[in-house]
Amino acid sequence: MKQKARERKGYVKKETLLIVSVISLVVGFIIGAVFSSYKYGSEGGPPGKIESPAQTPAMQVPEVNVRSRIEVLESEISRNPDKLEMLIELGNAYFDTNQYDKAVETYRMVLDIDPNNANVWTDMGIMYRRRGEPAKALEAFDRATAVDPDHEISRFNKGIVLLHDMNDVNGAVKAWEGLVERNPFAKAPNGQLLVDLISIVKEGNK
C-alpha cells in the first residue's frame, strides 16, 4: 500500500513528507504481511515480544519434501480423521505450500474438534486473507482473541488487515491499542514497540 501525503492549499507540507518517509521505513516490512501463530515460538523469549519466525520443519526442507509429507498425512488422516495433531500438521503443510482452500478446510476440521485453539483460528484467518477474503480473516482473528484475549499475533494481524486491506486506519489503531492495553511492551515482529508504531500511524493519518 503506497503511503499518500495529504495535500493542503495546493502543496505538500515538508512535515507530512517526513512522516510518510518514516512510516515507510517503520512499517514497510509489514506491508501486506500477516504472521502465522505456528511459526512463532514464545518459549525463552522476553515478555511482550512477538518472536521472530521459528524455523519449523516445513520451512527447513525443500517443498518437494513437504508435499511428500502431505501425501503421508492425507493417507493417515483418511483412516483416522480425528487425529488432531496430524490435522494441524497437515493444515500447516497446506499453509506452507500456499494451498489456501485445503488449509482452510483442514483448519476447520481442527476447530470442529478443538474450537478453542487460538493459533489455528489465527492461521485460518491468514489463509482467508490470502484467498482475498479479509472480512473472514478479521472474523477468524476475533475468534482467536475471544478464545485467548492475550493472543498477541491475532490482535496484531487484525490491525494489519484493517490497515492494508480495509483501508481502515482508525480500526487498525484501535486493534493495536487493544493489544497495548493488555501488554504495554508489545512489539511488532521487527522489534518495534507497538506503541511507537501506533503513534507514527496516527501522525501520518492527520
Q: How big is the chain by its Cα radius of gyration, in Å?
A: 19
> What's the pLDDT tens digit per position in 170-187?
999 999 999 999 999 998
Q: With bands split at pLDDT 50, 70 and 90, how would you rate the model's confidence at 166? A: very high
Domain ranges of the chain: 14-42+51-204
CA distance 110 to 198: 34
**pLDDT at residue number 48:** 42
Please state the pTM of the whole predicted model.
0.76
- Mean pLDDT across 56-71: 68
Residue 85, pLDDT > 90, answer yes
- Amino acid sitting at position 71: E
For the structural domain made of 14-42+51-204, what CATH number should be given? 1.25.40.10
Q: With bands split at pLDDT 50, 70 and 90, how would you rate the model's confidence at 190? A: confident
Residue 95, pLDDT > 70, answer yes
Residues in the chain: 206
Q: Cβ atoms within 10 A of the Cβ of 169, count?
A: 15
Q: What backbone phi and psi angles, to 5 degrees, belong to 99?
A: -95, 80
- Mean pLDDT across 80-101: 94
Q: Cβ atoms within 10 A of the Cβ of 132, count?
A: 10
Furthest-apart CA pair in the chain: how many Å? 69
**pLDDT at residue number 67:** 87
Give the lowest-confidence range in 12-21, 30-39, 72-81, 150-159: 12-21
- Mean pLDDT across 37-41: 63
- Mean pLDDT across 26-44: 56
